[in-house]
Chains A and B, each alone.
Chain A
Amino acid sequence: MSTDSAATPPAPAAARPAARGRIIAVTSGKGGVGKTFVSANLAAALARRGERVLVLDADLGLANLDVVLNLFPKITLHDVFTGKAQLEDAILPAPGGFSVLLAGSGLVEYSRLTVEVREKLLEVIDKVAPRYDRIILDTGAGISDVVLYAVSLADDVLVVATPEPTSLTDAYATIKVLATQQQRHAVRLVVNQTSRLGEGRVIRGQLQQVIDRYVTPQMQDPGVPFKLDLLGEIPTDTAVREAVQKRRLLLESLPGCPAAQGISAVADKLMS
Chain B
Amino acid sequence: MDSPTPPQSPKSASLRLDVALQLLQQSGVSLPGTRESNPSGWLQAVIDGLCELSSRDALTGLANRRQFELAMAREIDRVARAGEPALVLMIDIDHFKKVNDTHGHPAGDLVLREVGRALHDCIRPMDTVARFGGEEFAMILPNCPPAFGQTVAERVRSRVASRPVSVAPGQEVSITVSIGGAFAPQWVRSSAPLWIERADQQLYRAKAEGRNRTCLEMPPVSHVSAEEKGLLFGTSQFQDLE
Q: Which chain A residues border B191 with CB–CB below 8 Å?
A: 7-9
Closest chain-A Cβ to B6's Cβ sits at a distance in Å of: 40
A198 touches B186 (CB 8 A): no
Which B residues from 143 to 180 make CB contacts under 8 A with A?
none
Which A residues from 6 to 52 make CB contacts under 8 A with B?
7-9, 12
Q: Which chain B residues border A202 with CB–CB below 8 Å?
A: 237-238, 240-241
Closest to B234 in A: A206
Kindly state whether residue B126 has any CB partner on chain A within 8 Å. no
B232 touches A168 (CB 8 A): yes
Closest to B134 in A: A1
Spot the interface stretch: B10-18, B49-57, B219-227. Answer: B219-227
B237 touches A181 (CB 8 A): no
**A169 to B237 Cα, complex, angstroms:** 17
Beyond A1-B203, A152-B189, is A218–B221 a contact (Cβ under 8 Å)? yes
Which A residues from 148 to 187 make CB contacts under 8 A with B?
148-149, 152-153, 165, 168-169, 172-174, 176-177, 180-182
Kindly state whether residue B47 has any CB partner on chain A within 8 Å. no
Interface size for B (C-beta < 8 A) is: 42
Which B residues from 226 to 242 make CB contacts under 8 A with A?
227-229, 231-233, 235, 237-238, 240-241
Q: Which chain B residues border A122 with CB–CB below 8 Å?
A: 189
B229 touches A4 (CB 8 A): no
Which of B190, B192, B241 is the one whose CB lies under 8 Å from A118? Answer: B190
Spot the interface stretch: A72-80, A209-217, A230-238, A255-263. Answer: A209-217
Closest to A143 in B: B222
**A69 to B143 Cα, complex, angstroms:** 43
**A104 to B27 Cα, complex, angstroms:** 57
A199 touches B186 (CB 8 A): no
Q: Which chain B residues border A176 with CB–CB below 8 Å?
A: 221-222, 224
Q: Which chain B residues border A206 with CB–CB below 8 Å?
A: 232-233, 235, 237
**A181 to B217 Cα, complex, angstroms:** 8
Interface size for A (C-beta < 8 A) is: 44
Report how many A-B pairs have Cβ atoms within 8 Å. Answer: 109
Closest to A114 in B: B80
Kindly state whether residue B48 has any CB partner on chain A within 8 Å. no
**A28 to B227 Cα, complex, angstroms:** 22
Closest to A205 in B: B237
A169 touches B224 (CB 8 A): yes
A1 touches B229 (CB 8 A): no
Kindly state whether residue B19 has any CB partner on chain A within 8 Å. no
Q: Which chain B residues border A71 with CB–CB below 8 Å?
A: none
**A112 to B194 Cα, complex, angstroms:** 21
Closest chain-B Cβ to A133's Cβ sits at a distance in Å of: 24
Q: Which chain B residues border A112 with CB–CB below 8 Å?
A: 83
Q: Which chain B residues border A169 with CB–CB below 8 Å?
A: 224, 229, 232
Which of A9, A180, A213, A214 is the one whose CB lies under 8 Å from B220? Answer: A180
Which B residues from 77 to 99 make CB contacts under 8 A with A?
77, 80-81, 83, 90
Beyond A2-B197, A172-B228, A213-B231, is A149–B189 a contact (Cβ under 8 Å)? yes
B219 touches A1 (CB 8 A): no
Closest chain-A Cβ to B240's Cβ sits at a distance in Å of: 8
Q: Which chain B residues border A172 with CB–CB below 8 Å?
A: 224, 228, 232
Closest chain-A Cβ to B154's Cβ sits at a distance in Å of: 19
A181 touches B220 (CB 8 A): yes
Q: Which chain B residues border A165 with CB–CB below 8 Å?
A: 232-233
Kindly state whether residue B20 has any CB partner on chain A within 8 Å. no
- Measured CB to CB, the residues of A under 8 A from B are 1-2, 4-5, 7-9, 12, 112-115, 118, 122, 143, 145, 148-149, 152-153, 165, 168-169, 172-174, 176-177, 180-182, 196, 198-199, 202, 205-207, 209-210, 213-214, 218, 220
The 6 closest A-B pairs by CB, nearest first: A181-B220, A148-B187, A177-B220, A8-B193, A2-B196, A173-B222
- Measured CB to CB, the residues of B under 8 A from A are 76-77, 80-81, 83, 90, 132-133, 136, 186-194, 196-197, 200, 203, 205, 218-225, 227-229, 231-233, 235, 237-238, 240-241
Subset of 29 A-B contacts with CB under 8 Å:
A1-B90, A1-B133, A1-B196, A2-B197, A8-B191, A9-B191, A114-B80, A115-B190, A145-B186, A149-B188, A149-B189, A152-B187, A153-B189, A169-B229, A172-B232, A173-B223, A173-B224, A177-B221, A177-B222, A181-B219, A182-B188, A196-B241, A202-B241, A207-B232, A209-B231, A210-B231, A214-B225, A214-B228, A220-B205
